[in-house]
Amino acid sequence: MTGQPADILTIDGLSKSFSISGGLFSRPLELHALTDISFSVRQGETLGIVGESGCGKSTLGRCILQLLAPDEGRVLWLGEDITRLPAEAMRRRRRDLQIIFQDPLASLNPRLTVGEIVADPLRTLMPELNEAERRRRVLAMMEAVGLLPEMINRYPHEFSGGQAQRIGIARALITEPKLIVCDEPVSALDVSIQAQILNLLADLKDKFGLTLIFISHNLSVVRHVSDRILVLYLGRIVELADGDALYGDPKHPYTQALLTAVPIPDPKRARARSIDALVGEIPSPIFPPSGCAFRTRCRYAVALCAEQRPPLETVEGGRLVACHRWREIEREAAAG
């Protein structure tokens, strides 16, 4: 016994591509959104998933919840493969697995009242509840997320972005799920509201014993809420580590570059770090670079990086890193 919480979710070799039009006289092109993704999520933890826009974060969240069908690989929920379950069987599991979307107002049906929006998952996933019980649960959940009971008959357009996200959170929590995928839940909100919503999510996680997958392009936000952090680049895992280890000692050059965008108070460290700043655009996932996908932006790249894809290695503390040269880079940095 290690005392470590059990895995609640396991992703095993998951890949997802999209076929997109290559033009009138060309064959369709293949967009490689995710390739060979494997990791586990522990009961009660918050796993952050970070990377730039277009790295596959949201596709991964949707494949986990079976809102998108992966091409290859499995999603094991509480040990059961849910990847290709028939629709009715998946509907029963859906009570446990919910999502909070990025744009709260866009994700709420403008023709429904708050009460109807929050009650909607109960109608489809817990049809055994009667009207009175549904209303009781909706009011209790509204209170839990900081909405007043008299708001129950109002419509989404009457709310601010922060309040609308509270409605989205209430809708996600109403079926008492075990795991919630939070897909950029604060990136559409004013900075002043972001902290309120992050604190609310942390409180609700404790109160309801939730496990969270927190997707964001913003490492500062992810750091605030995550126990462990998975870094994605062009649809592949490049690093996975405990939050403190990843922020204090990033191993992969891409993680190091992403961290240069995170404000730190020490100006000396900030100056030293700026040398790793991320340059250039993320390459097209239709034509990914050979070998290491990060090589076109990596200042440590050598010939080997174009020839061979670096394997995802398990290093100390169960950390995962995919880079041919991370040890060498670390030695060079230590030598000054």
Instruction: Report the interface residues with ligand SF4, using CB under 6 A.
Output: 253, 292, 294-295, 298, 300-301, 305, 310, 323-325
Neighbouring CB atoms inside 10 A of 264's CB total 12
Question: What own/partner pairs with CB < 8 Å and gap ≥ 24 does 107-112 have?
Answer: 107/168, 108/156, 108/164, 108/167, 108/168, 108/171, 109/156, 110/155, 110/156, 110/157, 111/155, 112/155, 112/156
Under 8 Å between Cβ of 108 and 166: no
Q: Least CB distance from residue 17 to ligand SF4, whole Å? A: 22
d(CA 141, CA 176): 10
Nearer to ligand SF4, 89 or 279 (CB): 279
d(CA 233, CA 101): 21
Q: Least CB distance from residue 129 to ligand SF4, whole Å? A: 52
Nearer to ligand SF4, 101 or 294 (CB): 294
Nearer to ligand SF4, 73 or 310 (CB): 310
Q: Least CB distance from residue 228 to ligand SF4, whole Å? A: 21
Q: Least CB distance from residue 310 to ligand SF4, whole Å? A: 4
d(CA 261, CA 257): 8
Nearer to ligand SF4, 182 or 238 (CB): 238
d(CA 169, CA 153): 17
Q: Least CB distance from residue 3 to ligand SF4, whole Å? A: 34
Under 8 Å between Cβ of 231 and 238: yes
Cα dihedral: 228, 233, 239, 243 (round 10): -30
Nearer to ligand SF4, 136 or 299 (CB): 299
Nearer to ligand SF4, 201 or 323 (CB): 323
Q: Least CB distance from residue 292 to ligand SF4, whole Å? A: 3
Alpha-carbon separation of residue 81 from 7, 9, 85 (angstroms): 14, 10, 8
